[in-house]
Amino acid sequence: MKVNFQFVPSKLNVKNILHKSIYFMHIPKSGGTTIDHIFLKLFSILKNYHFKRFKYNEENKKNKLIMSDIDFSKKYFISGHLDYDFCNNFNNIYKCSVVRDPFSRVISHYKFMVFKLSTTPEKYTFEMFINEEVKNNRDNLITRHFAGLLNKKRLIEDKDSKIAINNINSFDLIHTLENWNKFLSEILSTFGFPSILYSRFQQHQYNFSYSPRDEDVSLIKKYFYYDFVIYSKILEFKNEFEINKDDKYNKKICVVSPYYKTEDRLYNEEDIKELFKKQNAI
C-alpha cells in the first residue's frame, strides 16, 4: 500500500509566539480527525499541553467546561464536534477551525455513512440520509456549529445565519479544507511547535460507486442553504500566512501516520530516512 506523506513546516522567527490554550472546533468531514491525531501525538511528546476531546452534550454546553478534570491554570488543546462558544470561560484561548465546501462535505458524509452501515447507495439512498440528518437536527451543520445551535430541535432561520456569520469573527483562525496544510502550518508556527510529517487518517477505500443526481444536489441546496451562505463569507477572509520553500523551518519533526509506527519522540531528516527504510523492510 502506497502511503502519501506530506510535510508541513513550522516556520521559524514568526512574531508573537503564543502561549494560550487552543480550541479546535471540529466540523465533521473537514479533516479534523487528522488534526486531532497530530496534536495528540505532538503533545504526548512535548508534554506541554493537555489534549482533551469532548463529545457534545447539553450538560457540557451549559457548564462550558467547568468540570473536575479541567485545571484552568494549565494549557489545553480542546477538540470535538462542539459549538463555537464551548470554551468561552477560558480567559486565554486560541479558537480555530477548518470549514469544507458544504456540497463536498455532505457528499463525503453520505459516502462515509454508507460505508459505516455496511450497505450500498441503492439500499441506503441519499434521500434517506438527508431525511435522517434533518430529523436529527444536523441540517446546515456548519451554521449550527458557529451559531451555537448543535442538537437544537428546530430549523435554522435567517437570524441564526446572521449570528453564525458574526461569530466567525471571534475565531483567531479559520481556513477552508483546500488550505488545510496552511492552516496546520500557521498553528505550528504561531505556537512554536515542531514541524509535522503526516499521512491522513480516516481515508477509506469504498467498494461502491456513487455520483450525485440532480435530485441529490437539490436536497443539499435546500437543507444546507445557510451553510453555503457562511462558507461564502469565510472565502472572503484574507490570510497573509504563506508556506514558501525558502522559509526557515523547525528541523525537529513529529511523524504522525496510521500506517507507520513511530516512537514518542521528534525526528530529524536522517532519522526519518532510517525509519522509512526499517518500516519498508518489515
Q: Three cell numbers at 282?
A: 518489515
78-122 pLDDT, tens digit each: 999 988 878 777 778 999 999 999 999 999 999 999 999 999 999
Domain ranges in the chain are 6-281
CB 260 within 8 A of CB 246: no
The CATH fold of domain 6-281: Rossmann fold (3.40.50)
Residue found by looking up cell 468561552 in the block: 88
Q: Three cell numbers at 203?
A: 481515508
User: What is the DSSP-derived secondary structure letter of residue 170?
Assistant: G
| Torsion from C-alpha of 179, 180, 181, 183, nearest 10 degrees | 90
Structure confidence at residue 38 (pLDDT): 97
123-138 pLDDT, tens digit each: 999 999 999 999 999 9
State the Rg of the chain over Cα: 20
Record the pTM: 0.92
Please give the helix or strand (H or E) that residue 15 lies within, else none. Answer: none
Residue 154 three-state SS: coil
143-196 pLDDT, tens digit each: 999 999 988 899 999 999 999 999 999 999 999 999 999 999 999 999 999 999
Q: Is the pLDDT of residue 240 over 90?
A: no
Longest dimension (CA), the chain: 59
